[in-house]
């Protein structure tokens, strides 16, 4: 299968081939990888489709129906815990055998290592949703403020499970922001996104690139690329996504910074859970 490229402003997209031959690998390495490093994100259309997407969705449904009801609050976040339909985020999914094995999926690892530029390992599966009828923003942030990795050879691979557009809260990126270092962050009131950029303003908003996706489309972003999402304004549609973070083998964690972040995160989670109970 040929690699089909689509270019639109800062976004370079391609149809993901099931297997790469040498010519296709050369096209991706010389063009897509270059633009990923320039812009800090890249979109892959039809990364998963057919049986692959169906298998992932079936296991997500199983996990939500059978495992999630018994999870602690630190692993399953709700907009309102009294309403199961407001489930908004899952983490630590590696306790499940399917999702533990999925970290080693060949297609995901191949793409991650191609863009990161070195061998990499998935840190675990996560699931995100913006349910209809809930009002929560995803604050502007940089993932590596949470990860505290040096060097920042880390990427998030984020797969759409629903049609995602501006109405139901698509991702918005600032191209090239990963070249400018970590911006100041502080505590937010958004469970699951405990820290947000404090000086994000109108100038930043004018640079945002809106990313609309269909189920099975994937966006990959660098750990220091600034991104955010609006609330879901649709009265009927979910905005679900599945993601894995890949960390390059050269990364080392700044343990002092990470401990400071996790302490602040735990305090925020405890306060918000207490307020909601």
Q: What is the pLDDT of residues 241-269, one digit of tens each?
A: 999 999 999 999 999 888 887 887 777 76
Give the contacts of 66 (CB within 8 A, at least 6 positions apart). none
Distance from C-alpha of 78 to C-alpha of 193, rounded to nearest angstrom: 13
Q: How many domains does the chain have?
A: 1
Q: Is the pLDDT of residue 22 over 60?
A: no
Q: What is the pLDDT of residues 160-202, one digit of tens each?
A: 999 999 999 999 999 999 999 999 999 887 877 878 999 999 9
Of 32, 29, 37, 30, the closest CA to residue 13 belongs to 32
Domain that holds residue 156: 5-276
Q: Is the pLDDT of residue 38 over 90?
A: yes
Q: Write the CA distances from 44 to 77, 93, 117, 226, 273, integer angstroms.
A: 28, 24, 17, 19, 36
What is the model's pLDDT at position 34?
A: 85
Give the contacts of 1 (CB within 8 A, at least 6 positions apart). 15, 17, 18, 19, 24
Find the helix or strand (DSSP H, E) in which 222 lies.
strand 218-222
> 10 Å Cβ neighbour count for 147?
22
In the chain, what are the helix, strand and coil shares in percent, each to the nearest 5?
35, 25, 40
C-alpha 271 chain-centroid distance: 25
Bridging pattern class, strands 11-15 and 41-45: parallel
What is the model's pLDDT at position 1?
A: 26
Q: What is the pLDDT of residues 89-124, one digit of tens each?
A: 999 999 999 999 999 999 999 999 999 999 999 998
What is the model's pLDDT at position 18?
A: 52
Q: What is the pLDDT of residues 137-163, one digit of tens each?
A: 899 999 999 999 999 999 999 999 999
Q: What is the pLDDT of residues 46-93, one digit of tens each?
A: 999 899 999 999 999 999 999 999 999 889 999 888 889 999 999 999
What is the model's pLDDT at position 25?
A: 55
CATH number of the domain where residue 196 is located: 2.60.120.620
Give the contacts of 28 (CB within 8 A, at least 6 positions apart). 3, 14, 20, 114
């Amino acid at each position: 299968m040929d690699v089909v490229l689509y270019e639109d402003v800062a976004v370079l997209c391609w149809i993901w081939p099931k297997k790469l031959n040498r010519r296709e690998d050369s096209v991706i390495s010389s063009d897509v990888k270059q633009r990923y490093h320039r812009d800090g994100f890249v979109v892959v259309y039809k990364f998963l489709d057919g049986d692959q997407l169906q298998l992932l969705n079936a296991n997500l449904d199983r996990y939500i129906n059978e495992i999630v009801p018994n999870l602690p609050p630190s692993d399953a976040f709700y907009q309102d815990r009294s309403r199961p339909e407001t489930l908004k985020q899952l983490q630590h999914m590696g306790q499940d055998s399917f999702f533990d094995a999925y970290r080693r999926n060949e297609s995901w690892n191949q793409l991650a290592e191609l863009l990161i530029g070195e061998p990499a390992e998935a840190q675990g599966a996560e699931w995100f949703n913006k349910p209809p009828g809930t009002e929560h923003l995803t604050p502007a942030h940089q993932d590596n403020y949470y990860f505290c990795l040096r060097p920042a050879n880390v990427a998030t691979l984020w797969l759409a499970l629903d049609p995602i557009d501006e109405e139901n809260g698509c991702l918005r990126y600032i191209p090239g922001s990963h070249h400018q270092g970590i911006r100041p962050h502080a505590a937010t009131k958004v469970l699951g996104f405990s820290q947000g950029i404090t000086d994000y303003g109108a100038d930043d908003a004018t640079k945002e690139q809106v990313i609309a996706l269909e189920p099975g489309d994937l966006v990959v972003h660098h750990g220091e690329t600034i991104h955010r999402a609006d609330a879901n304004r649709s009265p009927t549609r979910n905005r679900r996504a599945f993601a894995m973070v890949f960390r390059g083998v050269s990364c080392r964690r700044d343990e002092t910074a990470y401990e400071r972040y996790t302490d602040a995160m735990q305090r925020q989670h405890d306060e918000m859970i207490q307020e909601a109970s």
